């Protein structure tokens, strides 16, 4: 079973937006996972959204998902209304770029699951209107939704055929997620998959984004994760997502090429 290989641009974050797109293509990736804030910044500096569209077309890259919708889970009253307005703007931009999904990031602080379910439902409704699907993300160091368990609970309870989640090797390993849960989630409920490794010298449940390392350099059994994805019938996008400052100081093309090669080796 084949997967579509994608580069999340956080892996080479310091590079300019159009350069990230070029590097992803030159390194051999089929797709690139873009950050909406990068496009906002590019436009704010005088660029045009059509420049991004043209670059993607020129390099033959798909955009399987864009990141992110924030603030929707914890905002209240008028602030929540404003968050939904911003979420719509972000979804419209992602839809224009051609992305089928946009990431819905959970709150940093504790949040009732029922509230997450209701709010995620609101995002799904906006997404249907816009023509894109918000996909639920769990983050191991965000108290609002730390585990794969919570993400799966939200997706099930919202009772919406468009509800999906993003399994992430690092966040599953770095949290008290139930072992073996990924094998119980239908492939149709997975929007795409984030692959990354963890720092070999920092304990589980104590790591954050900068501690992620290149796949194969840490303790996560990524081969086992890939095997589970195959067993449940998932055949979508696998996206390399790192936030490592040491890698950011290296040649970005070499980093991307190394990640692409390691992914290919792992999938063999």
pLDDT tens track, the chain, 268 positions: 589 999 999 999 999 999 999 999 999 999 999 999 999 999 999 999 999 999 999 999 999 999 999 999 999 999 999 999 999 999 999 999 999 999 999 999 999 999 999 999 999 999 999 999 999 999 999 999 999 999 999 999 999 999 999 999 999 999 999 999 999 999 999 999 999 999 999 999 999 999 999 999 999 999 999 999 999 999 999 999 999 999 999 999 999 999 999 999 999 9
pLDDT of res. 2: 87
6 CB-side CA count, 13 A: 26
- Pick the closest to residue 164 from 183, 187, 184 (CA basis): 187
Whether residue 102 contacts residue 65, with contact meaning beta carbons closer than 8 Å, is answered with: yes
CATH number assigned to the domain with residue range 4-267, chosen from the 4 options 4.10.780.10, 3.20.20.150, 3.90.950.20, 3.30.43.10: 3.20.20.150
Q: Which residue has the tokens 């992803």?
A: 24
Enumerate the domain spans of the chain.
4-267
Distance, in Å, from the CA atom of 205 to the CA atom of 207, rounded to the nearest integer, reads 6
Distance, in Å, from the CA atom of 32 to the CA atom of 229, rounded to the nearest integer, reads 21
Distance, in Å, from the CA atom of 240 to the CA atom of 256, rounded to the nearest integer, reads 9
Collapse the DSSP code of 197 into the 3-class scheme (helix H, G, I; strand E, B; otherwise coil) and give the result.
Answer: strand
Residue 34, both tokens: 């873009």
Distance, in Å, from the CA atom of 79 to the CA atom of 77, rounded to the nearest integer, reads 5
């Amino acid at each position: 079973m084949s997967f579509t290989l994608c580069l999340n641009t956080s892996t080479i974050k310091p590079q300019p937006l159009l350069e990230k797109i070029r590097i992803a293509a030159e390194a051999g990736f089929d797709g690139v996972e873009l950050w909406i804030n990068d496009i906002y910044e590019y436009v704010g500096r005088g660029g045009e959204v059509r420049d991004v569209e043209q670059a993607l077309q020129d390099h033959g890259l798909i955009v399987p998902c864009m990141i992110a919708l924030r603030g929707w889970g914890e905002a209240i009253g008028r602030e929540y209304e404003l968050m939904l307005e911003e979420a719509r703007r972000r979804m419209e931009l992602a839809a224009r770029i051609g992305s089928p999904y946009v990431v819905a990031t959970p709150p940093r602080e504790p949040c009732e699951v029922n509230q997450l379910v209701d709010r995620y439902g609101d995002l799904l409704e906006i997404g249907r209107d816009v023509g894109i699907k918000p996909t639920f993300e769990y983050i191991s160091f965000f108290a609002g939704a730390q585990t794969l368990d919570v993400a799966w609970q939200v997706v099930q309870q919202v009772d919406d055929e468009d509800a999906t989640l993003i399994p992430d090797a690092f966040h599953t390993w770095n949290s008290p997620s139930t072992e073996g849960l990924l094998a119980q989630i239908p492939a149709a409920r997975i929007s795409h998959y984030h692959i990354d490794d963890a720092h070999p010298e920092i304990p589980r449940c104590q790591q954050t984004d900068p501690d992620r390392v290149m796949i194969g350099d840490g303790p996560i059994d990524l081969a086992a994760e890939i095997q589970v994805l195959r067993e449940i019938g998932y055949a979508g996008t696998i996206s390399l997502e790192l936030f490592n400052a040491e890698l950011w100081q290296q040649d970005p093309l070499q980093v991307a090429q190394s990640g692409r090669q390691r992914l290919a080796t792992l999938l063999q």
